[in-house]
Structure formats: structure tokens, C-alpha cells
Amino acid sequence: MVRYGYPIVPTAVDAPKVSLDLPDATGFSLRTLVTGHGQGNEDDCAEFCPRTHTIRVNGVRHDVTGWRSDCATSGVRGQLGNYWYSRAGWCPGALVEPWDVDVSRDIRGRTATLAYAITPYVNGCRPDAVPLIPTTCTLGTSAEYDGGRHTPPIYRLSTVLIAYG
């Protein structure tokens, strides 16, 4: 889990840089699943705000927005709730689509360093925000998280480096 919008918790704390020893292979692919959750925050992040996610492989940058605008038609028909709204990387009742990148050109030798980053953001609608500006709360809630209309902005992130050949 990557906390989003907390100035005292940089992304690198929740998603630290990783160095890997690699097998002998002819190619490598990166498969990533990333989904945003949390609502009622500034910009309605992280569930309802499109952001750019970056993974660097040995310093080479790969970006994706991962925005799902097909939620009205991709999930379970007739479900309850607000399933039709576009979301950050997922839709209720639908499979999460992976972000696949061929990173073979980025890898030289038998080691790789992976680093994750996301568009910078400070959530002004959080309990410890100073100064607190309640008008930044998208759904008109207070800055306190209530487990319903106002929940903390987070990203769920899973990445695997696949070796082949």
C-alpha cells in the first residue's frame, strides 16, 4: 500500500527502490497492477483522480496513467452503488488490467534497480493538514476520515519482473 498526499510520508517510504539479481535471460518484461482508493479528499483522490505512475528500470522511465473510463460497461451489470464512475486503475466487479512493459533494453548485465514514483500531490483535506482548508474536501465532508464518504487516499501496487528466453 502506498499512502498518497501525506507530506511527511514520501512515496519512497511505502514503495522503496529495489535492487534485483537477475537470471541469465534474453528478455525482461515488467507487469504492474496499480489501483487508487479513497474518496472525499482534495481532487477526490486517489480513487477518482487520474495520476501518472512512473517506474524506472535502471534509470529508464516508464509512465502510465492507468485510468479506467469504461466502468459503466465493464463490471457486473445491475450491481448497486456508484459503479459507473471512472476510476484509478479498476472498476467495481471487473478484473484489474495489468500494465505490461518490455524492459529488455533497460537491463544490462545481471542486476536491475526498480523505482516507483507518482505525480506529486498534497491532500489538503486530511485530519493533520496545516493549514486546514475544509473547502478542499470534495464531498463536503470534514477533514476527519469517516470510513464512508471520506477515506484516506492510497494506491495498491504490485509489480513483478518477468525473465524469459
Question: What cell does 150 get?
Answer: 471520506
Which uninterrupted H or E stretch holds 157? Answer: strand 154-164
Burial of 145 (0-12, 13-18, 19+ CB in 10 A): middle
Over 80: is that where the pLDDT of 131 sits? Answer: no
Residues 43 and 37: their CA atoms lie apart, in Å, by: 13
48-100 tens-digit pLDDT: 999 999 999 999 999 999 999 999 998 787 788 888 999 999 999 999 999 99
Average pLDDT over residues 116-145: 88
Q: Which of left, alpha, beta for 40 (phi over 0: left; psi -120 to 50: alpha)?
A: left
- Give the number of domains in the chain: 1
Q: 34 pairs with which residues across the strands? A: 157
| Domain of residue 158, CATH code | 2.60.120.230
Over 80: is that where the pLDDT of 134 sits? Answer: no
Please list the helix, strand and coil fractions of the chain in percent, rounded to the nearest 5, in that order.
Answer: 10, 35, 55
Backbone Cα Rg of the chain: 18
| Under 8 Å between Cβ of 36 and 87 | yes
Largest interatomic CA distance in the chain = 55
Question: What cell does 56 get?
Answer: 524506472
Which range marks the domain in which residue 104 is found?
Answer: 2-164
Between residues 135 and 16, the one the model is more confident about:
16
Residue whose cell numbers read 493549514:
131
Give the angle subtended at the CA of 70 by the CAs of 65 and 76, to the nearest 5°: 125
Q: Say how many Å lie between the first and final Cα of the chain, rounded.
A: 32
What's the pTM? 0.91
Confidence label for 160 from pLDDT (cuts 50, 70 and 90): very high
| Under 8 Å between Cβ of 37 and 77 | no
